[in-house]
């Protein structure tokens, strides 16, 4: 029995899988934030390169990965697929647990899978600088890594609570040559507006996005890059699930359960869309696909499926998605990368249609699962990835009850080597299990944009 299944570089997928081709009904179009009319490619041109706008709207099933992008991806891809045999033994489960390990990328998560192609297409279209937001710092350091390889500049607005909790992510961005600014900042109108209302705000992804979009829209040589949520980001991440499918085939296995954690939804999309496509089209109708989120920011389990802004200031297109309201500021939980009020429109549609099944966990049980994983498999995972670990353990324990030998696949989205302050807080008993902040969410949902 193999512990890890590796592919050769030559076996790395040459195309991304676009699940839009297999949706029974097309996605509801994004709307222009000012007019409420469907956004046109021209509306998006001030902040995105043409090719990414094309991919965003494409319904082609497969899109070629450019050779220069593939060449860079081989720095760490194909990533290994592990069989978690020691975890299985500790849980005394008949289930077979496999995980895709995305922590092998230089910044340590799945995010470079899209940072590299995004930087590439922007450079191809003459852009010299990218502006972006980051939560836990994973995306900022990934885009900083990508822009350094393409000789571009990079400005990162980092959610203040994470900027303070995770100083080393900021240092990593500096090593890659990017500028990292705590958000909200005084540099943008959106930042000044939020600070005026609440000077002590921990910040949020929604605020940081407003700042980065404003920066990009007001500079000609600068575009905006988003690390999650959008269709083209989910598309780029499908290299994960496609590789996993090839690797499982080597083990003559196919998953009964596929699991990923959801912040904006991109790593979940990456691991699950190649399988969700086979579920929708009837090839494998029975796969259980589980999206795991924090109970403190329960977008898919408690949000509304409706049109909302992607950011606080209302500068982004209005998207049909599960949302907690664009000005909802989630509690400062340690999985900073999962603190987003919305979710990818594609992931939201699949949740709405019942193709995927969302679940939510509290942070202490999530860290407990992460510690079990570290003490059996050896890897200290990121607090975000720990949500997927927790769900995989729960599914495996359910198999122990029923005696089923299910094949469980989860995405291990990144390492926790910069997250030890969070682990320390967990061991010290200092993590709060925030209750679902029902009043705050209700209030925020009362301020949805008016559309149609």
Ligand X SMILES: *Cc1c(COP(=O)(O)O)cnc(C)c1O
Who contacts 164 (Cβ-Cβ below 8 Å, separation ≥6)? 182
Who contacts 198 (Cβ-Cβ below 8 Å, separation ≥6)? none
Residue with Cβ nearer ligand X (191 or 263): 263
Rounded to a whole number of angstroms, the minimum distance from the CB of residue 153 to ligand X is 22
DSSP letter for 31, please. Answer: B
| Two tokens, residue 53 | 């706008």
Residue with Cβ nearer ligand X (225 or 382): 382
Which residues contact ligand X (rule: CB under 6 A)?
109, 111, 136, 138-139, 228, 261-268, 337-338, 382, 384-385, 413-414
Rounded to a whole number of angstroms, the minimum distance from the CB of residue 356 to ligand X is 13
Rounded to a whole number of angstroms, the minimum distance from the CB of residue 136 to ligand X is 6
Residue with Cβ nearer ligand X (308 or 384): 384
Rounded to a whole number of angstroms, the minimum distance from the CB of residue 271 to ligand X is 9
Q: What are phi and psi of 48, to 5 degrees?
A: -130, 150
Q: What is the enclosing helix (H) or strand (E) of 444?
A: helix 438-445
Rounded to a whole number of angstroms, the minimum distance from the CB of residue 40 to ligand X is 26
Residue with Cβ nearer ligand X (392 or 399): 392
Rounded to a whole number of angstroms, the minimum distance from the CB of residue 112 to ligand X is 10
Residue with Cβ nearer ligand X (324 or 399): 324
Q: Which residue is nearest to ligand X (CB)?
A: 414
| CA 216/CA 83 separation, integer angstroms | 43
Q: Which of 138, 137, 146 is nearest to 182 (CA)?
A: 137
Residue with Cβ nearer ligand X (93 or 299): 299
End-to-end CA distance of the chain: 57
What are the angstrom distances between the C-alpha of 83 and each of 5, 6, 12, 373? Answer: 8, 11, 20, 13
Rounded to a whole number of angstroms, the minimum distance from the CB of residue 309 to ligand X is 18
Q: Report yes or no: 128 and 135 within 8 Å, Cβ to Cβ.
A: no
Q: How far is CA 278 from the centre of its chain?
A: 22
| CA 388/CA 377 separation, integer angstroms | 15
Rounded to a whole number of angstroms, the minimum distance from the CB of residue 108 to ligand X is 8
Residue with Cβ nearer ligand X (155 or 162): 162
| CA 74/CA 189 separation, integer angstroms | 40
| CA 397/CA 401 separation, integer angstroms | 7
Residue with Cβ nearer ligand X (314 or 336): 336
DSSP letter for 186, please. Answer: S
């Amino acid at each position: 029995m193999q512990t890890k299944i590796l592919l050769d570089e030559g076996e790395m997928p040459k195309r991304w899988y676009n699940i839009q081709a297999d949706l029974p009904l097309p996605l509801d179009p994004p709307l222009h934030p000012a007019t409420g009319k469907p956004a046109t490619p021209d509306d998006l041109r001030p902040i995105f390169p043409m090719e990414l706008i094309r991919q965003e709207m494409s319904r082609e099933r497969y899109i070629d990965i450019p050779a220069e992008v593939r060449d860079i991806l081989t720095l760490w891809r194909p990533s290994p697929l592990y069989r978690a045999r020691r975890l299985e033994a500790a849980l005394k489960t008949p289930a077979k647990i496999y995980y895709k390990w995305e922590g092998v990328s230089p910044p340590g998560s799945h995010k470079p899978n899209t940072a590299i192609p995004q930087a590439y297409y922007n450079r191809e279209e003459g852009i010299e600088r990218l502006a972006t937001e980051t939560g836990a710092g994973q995306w900022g350091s990934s885009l900083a890594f990508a822009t350094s390889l393409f000789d571009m500049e990079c400005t990162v607005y980092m959610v203040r609570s994470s900027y303070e909790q995770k100083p080393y992510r900021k240092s990593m961005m500096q090593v890659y040559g990017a500028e990292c600014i705590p958000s909200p900042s005084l540099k943008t109108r959106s930042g000044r507006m939020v600070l005026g209302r609440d000077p002590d705000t921990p910040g949020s992804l929604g605020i940081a996005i407003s700042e980065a979009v404003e920066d990009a829209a007001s500079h000609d040589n600068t575009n905006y890059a988003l690390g999650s949520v959008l269709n083209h980001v989910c598309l780029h991440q499908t290299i994960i699930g496609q590789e996993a499918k090839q690797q499982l085939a080597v083990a003559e296995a196919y998953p009964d359960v596929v699991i990923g954690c959801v912040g904006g939804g991109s790593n979940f999309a990456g691991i699950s869309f190649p399988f969700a496509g086979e579920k929708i089209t009837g090839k494998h109708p029975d796969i259980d696909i589980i999206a795991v989120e924090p109970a403190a920011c329960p977008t898919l389990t408690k949000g509304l499926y409706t049109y909302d802004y992607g950011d606080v200031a209302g500068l982004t297109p209005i998207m049909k998605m599960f949302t907690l309201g664009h000005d909802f500021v989630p509690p400062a939980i340690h999985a900073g990368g999962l603190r987003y009020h919305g979710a990818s429109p594609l992931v939201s549609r699949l949740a709405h249609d019942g193709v995927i099944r969302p679940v939510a966990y509290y942070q202490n049980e999530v860290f407990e699962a992460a510690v079990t994983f570290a003490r059996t498999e050896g890897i200290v995972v990121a607090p975000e990835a720990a949500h997927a670990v927790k769900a995989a353990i729960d599914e495996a324990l359910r198999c122990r009850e029923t005696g089923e030998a299910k094949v469980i696949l989860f995405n291990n989205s990144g390492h926790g080597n910069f997250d030890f302050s969070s682990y320390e807080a967990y061991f010290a008993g200092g993590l709060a299990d925030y209750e679902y902040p029902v009043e705050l969410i209700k209030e925020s949902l009362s301020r949805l944009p008016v559309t149609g």
